[in-house]
Amino acid sequence: MSMGNHVGNAAIEASVVPSTLRKWAWSSDFLENLNLESYGHQGWRHRKDTLAGMSMKHAKPNFSQSQVSEMVKKLFNLTPSEIRSLPSYDDQNFYVAPVEGGEYVLKIMNSEDSKNSTLIEVQTHAMSFLHQNGLPAQTAVPTTTGQLMSLEEINCGYGCQKYLVRLLTYLPGTTISKVPLTPQLLYETGKTAARMDTILQKMEHPHLSVLQREEFKWSLSYVPILETYLSVLDGDPLQEVVKSVIHQYKTSVVPKYSIFRKCINHGDFNDLNVLVQPDESDGYRISGILDFGDMSSGYYIHDLAITIMYMMNEHPCPLEVGGPILAGWESILPLSEAEKDCLYVLVLCRFCQSLVFARYSVTLQPENAEYLMISSKKGIHVLHHLWKLGKEHVERVWFQSAAQVSDMK
């Protein structure tokens, strides 16, 4: 196997891990031990609730390698020389290396998500649009009839069902969670996130309205939805912190939405969705952006808050993360005063979303409870730390650090 393949194997991304848990509860070491290698997943956390009550064997595809080989030949006119099954929770993913050259990831979506083809179409278009505008995103390979995805009706052993199939380009790299988060890399992360949002805002598509995802629980536009899940924290002192954060959101963020700048959010720019490769200066450069399953209409400040939160969760000194990311972001998209004033609360909101929904997942997947609680301790600690420091202190550290980083550029 080439070095590109080897490095790509470390790109353990969301298609292999239930992302309600992945949002912070599965440690990098745990994922590495699983030897996972697939990426490009489309939003496990929203189908978790819809699929939890049904038999997964009736939704998850179960294609044999011979069926995959035939399908790749039929749809893409490629002859696989190597096919490897890649782990996935409720889809099916395969690494495909055809004799014609190149490397790909074949994604076969479960039959439930396959019914929402318009949303998947817009997500796929966004990936291509970013790629066309110079950002490293996967792209879908057209079928022989020119389609970027195909709805295949096949009997996998329990009757004929329809599955959306896409062949995506393979991006080499390792997840940013595996490398030192230097100030320079954090700066580039913030800059890339801002570039991504400004590009997505220019995107045109006849079905962009599907991104108006009302009551989408992972959107920072709908933080109060957390209140319906708070019982999972009964008896935990953290419940009061979460309640207080929700109250701050309602009183200090919601009134400012009318003056926030709108955009299309990626919605999940986290440490497992950003790939990096070594650069010529012994550092790392961003080589891939993954997982567009949480895309929705939102606000620029949302993606900045999400980016800061997840990078904090990986850093040995979490408070040091915000400044360099801010500096990178503002090199592309300077914040308004209203956006600056709400950043701290929105970062806390994302911590709360991740914590509460991870805890909720335990009620659906009790067999993961022990590991889930152990591995989420750091996120809980960071949330507590930020809360105790308070808005004024944290903002002063972030914005002074951002100014220092910018002055050095």
Q: Which long-range contacts (CB under 8 A, 24 or more apart) does 252-255 make?
A: 252/341, 252/342, 252/345, 253/223, 253/342, 253/345, 253/346, 253/349
Of 91, 113, 268, 303, the active-site residue reads 268
Q: Are 67 and 165 in contact (CB under 8 A)?
A: no
Residues 6 or more apart in contact with residue 210 via CB below 8 angstroms: 118, 119, 122
Separation of first and last alpha carbons in the chain:
39
Query: Sign of the CA dihedral 129, 332, 256, 226?
Result: positive
Axis-axis angle for helices 337-364, 44-52 (nearest 10): 40
**Rounded to whole angstroms, what are the CA distances from 90 to 41, 44, 48, 108, 241?**
10, 8, 9, 10, 34
List the 92-98 sheet strands across, edge first: 80-86, 92-98, 104-108, 160-169, 150-155
Per the annotation, the verdict on 291 as an active-site residue is no
DSSP letter for 403, please. Answer: H
Give the bridge partners for 107, in sequence order. 93, 166
Query: Catalytic residue numbers?
Result: 268
